[in-house]
Amino acid sequence: MNAAAFYDVDGTLVSTNVVHNYAYYAMNVPSLTDKVTRTASLLASIPFYLVADKIGRKFFNDLFYKNYAGIGEDRLYVLGQEMFDTWIRAKMYPDMLDLIRRSRAEGYQQVLLSGALDVIVRPMADFLGVDAWAANRLEIVDGKATGRLLPPVYAGPEKANFVRTYAAKNGLDLSLCRAYADSGSDIPMLSMVGRPVAVNPDTQLLSTARAHDWPVLNV
């Protein structure tokens, strides 16, 4: 089959999100002072980030990932694998894991597309044995994260652009492709394929799904 199934990650395949992921890093930095400072700053900023996310997912990402400034590159990779092994793996939705297995058996390529960091998505991609994946990447200078995301920043239209480009490169028929996501910010990606599915949808996505008669899954 010349088609793929594209999956958002946070909220779609797992019950975690980018705030949970950073909290794990903040609690596991080597310095006790840095740990306390990062954790306190995160807690104090949550209301602000909720507002930023309503403005736009890319705007939120550009602001939120500044929290990672100063964390060592090696630490990012080690903790990313540790986080998946000890926490994220247990937070994956069993129904979605079954869906991935069925979709693969039907001949669909399996592709993860996430606004989370590559160091967090990579272990999941390896575990699932997907055909391809894409995620956000932090700029690294002198062995440490600057807090800046390297382009492309996967949010909204950039996810849709990835789906379009991936399909063209791999000779896929977008009308046969599937996509799964939970957020209104992913509507552009879902609109690219012939078989979009809203998973645990937020209010905006649920409204759009109902208007266009898209299937809705609550897992």
pLDDT at 197: 98
Q: Over the stretch 134-182, which tens digit does the pLDDT of each residue have?
A: 999 999 999 999 999 999 999 889 999 999 999 999 999 999 999 999 9
- Residue 133: pLDDT band (50, 70, 90) is very high
Are 135 and 114 spatial neighbours (Cβ–Cβ below 8 Å)?
Answer: yes
Residue 30 has pLDDT above 90, yes or no: no
Domain range summary for the chain, segments of one domain joined by +: 4-217
Range of lowest pLDDT (16-30, 96-110, 149-163): 16-30
- Residue 31: pLDDT band (50, 70, 90) is confident
Closest CA to 187 of 202, 172, 177, 169: 202
CATH homologous superfamily for 4-217? HAD superfamily/HAD-like (3.40.50.1000)
Cβ burial of 18 (10 Å; 0-12, 13-18, 19+) is buried
Are 217 and 198 spatial neighbours (Cβ–Cβ below 8 Å)?
Answer: yes
Tell me the sheet residues that pair with 199.
Answer: 217
Note the pTM of the prediction, 2 decimals.
0.89
